[in-house]
Amino acid sequence: MGSADTGDEIIFDLLSMIHVHRSGRVERFEPTPFVPPSFHPATGVDSKDVSINSCSGLSARLYLPLSAAGSGKLPVVVFFHGGGFFLHRAASSQYHDYLNSLAACAGAVVVSVDYRLAPEYPLPAAYDDSWEALQWVSAAGDPWLMNSGDLDRVFLAGDSAGGNIVHNLGMRLGRGGRMVNGIVMMNPFFWGKERIGAERKVPEGAIFRTEDVDRVWPFVCPGSPDLDDQRINPTAAGAAGLAAMGSPRILVSVGSLDLLLDRGIDYCEKMKESGWGGEVEFMEVEGEDHGFFLLFPGNERAAAFMETMVNFVCKI
């Protein structure tokens, strides 16, 4: 009897990162293991997992730099991991290691949100979870936030799909008349129907191909009309005005080899032209591709970006 008769046939394969079987079983291929929270001796940062909503399973991993104890309240960075809305967790080792370093270098309380993933929970589940987590942070939902976090200095940060989440949170905040202190988007996942820049001719050796990226959004958001949905293409014709952004400062960073480079550039240009009135900084990292700061955290360019991000958070 063939696999098509057993229900184990693979009916969807995306980037060799996720398989969906005819039976409905979802198989993910995580590039790094999951790790528990713990004290990290190299950075002097402690971490713990906290439930935000026991019904939906929403949780977060919190990071607290012990060296900052007694030095007053610390800025709060609410972080959203990448993975195309279908991969990775807050417990993924590459994010755990990176956020230990960020908490230590920035002297910040970091909240890494563990939102629900597609396809089991298609969008807008991740957006809804992220919004709920932000409200929880604003209400000082944990003693680390209450005792050590300065809730007048809250920053949103995320990479890839997490960068997309951060943009959409910022827009929702602004429409409600609320603000955070700053937004950091690392290689944010924006896309669209019309090819721009390097999308017309993908650089040799690039991590992603245009046709693969085309398939991500319909997979994670099957109810979306198309790739010009304003949630994935905030600069599309008819998208909500960027002037509503609920942050006075934005930092966007993309590697020069990243297929998403031109989307990041276009986003920053359109933000400046929108009448928003805030300050946007774009950092193109020469010779690097998607997620370089996670894949090669010890290299010179990753260290330079960490310094830029820390300065952004610590700027008064």
Residue 127's pLDDT is: 99
Q: Is the pLDDT confidence value at 2 over 60?
A: no
Token pair in block for residue 179: 């603000």
Q: Which CATH class is domain 38-314?
A: alpha beta
Please tell me the distance from the alpha carbon of residue 98 to that of residue 87, in angstroms, as a whole number. Answer: 17
253-260 average pLDDT score: 95
Measured in whole angstroms, the distance separating CA 140 from the mean position of its chain's CA atoms is 22
Which ranges in 7-139 belong to alpha helices (H)? 93-106, 125-138
> The tokens of 122 are what?
């298609």
What is the average per-residue pLDDT within 4-17? 85
CA dihedral 153, 133, 43, 37 (to 10 degrees): 160
Which residue in 112, 160, 247, 253 is the catalytic one? 160
* Distance separating alpha carbons of residues 250 and 54, to the nearest angstrom: 33
| Overall pTM surpassing 0.85 (yes/no) | yes
Residue type, 96: H
pLDDT digits (tens, 9 = 90+) for 132-176: 999 999 999 999 999 999 999 999 999 999 999 999 999 999 999
User: Of 105, 133, 19, nearest to 306 (Cα)?
Assistant: 105
pLDDT of residue 316: 62
In DSSP terms, 80 is beta-bridged to 113, 158
* Structure confidence at residue 206 (pLDDT): 79
The owner of tokens 């940062």 is: 45
Query: Model confidence at 111, in pLDDT bands (50, 70, 90)?
Result: very high
Domain with CATH 3.40.50.1820 in the chain: 38-314
- H or E segment and range at residue 62: strand 58-65
Phi, psi of 57, deg, nearest 5: 90, 5
Q: What is the band of 41 on the pLDDT scale with cuts at 50, 70, 90?
A: very high
56 is catalytic: no
Token pair of 241, please?
């005005």
Query: What span, in angstroms and rounded, lies between the C-alpha atoms of 181 and 224?
Result: 31
With a cut of 60, say whether residue 31 has pLDDT above it: yes
- SS3 of residue 292 by DSSP: helix
Across all residues in the chain, what is the average pLDDT?
95
For 157, half-sphere exposure in the C-beta direction (CA atoms, 13 angstrom radius) is 27
Q: Mean pLDDT across the stretch 97-101?
A: 98
Q: What is the mean pLDDT of residues 68-82?
A: 91
How high is the pLDDT of residue 150? Answer: 97
Give the CA count within 13 Å in the CB-facing half-sphere of 209.
6
Q: What pLDDT is recorded for position 1?
A: 40
Q: Residue 279's pLDDT band (boundaries 50, 70, 90)? A: very high
Q: What is the mean pLDDT of residues 274-285?
A: 97
Residue 41 burial by CB count (10 A; 0-12/13-18/19+): exposed, middle or buried?
exposed
Per-residue pLDDT at 5: 57
Q: Are 85 and 232 in contact (CB under 8 A)?
A: no
Angle at 153 between CA 149 and CA 156, to 5 degrees: 100
> How large a percentage of the chain has pLDDT more than 90?
90
Report the run of H or E that residue 261 belongs to, with start and end: helix 261-273
Task: Name which residue leads in pLDDT, 8 or 46.
Answer: 46
Q: Give the mean model confidence (pLDDT) for residues 189-193.
A: 98
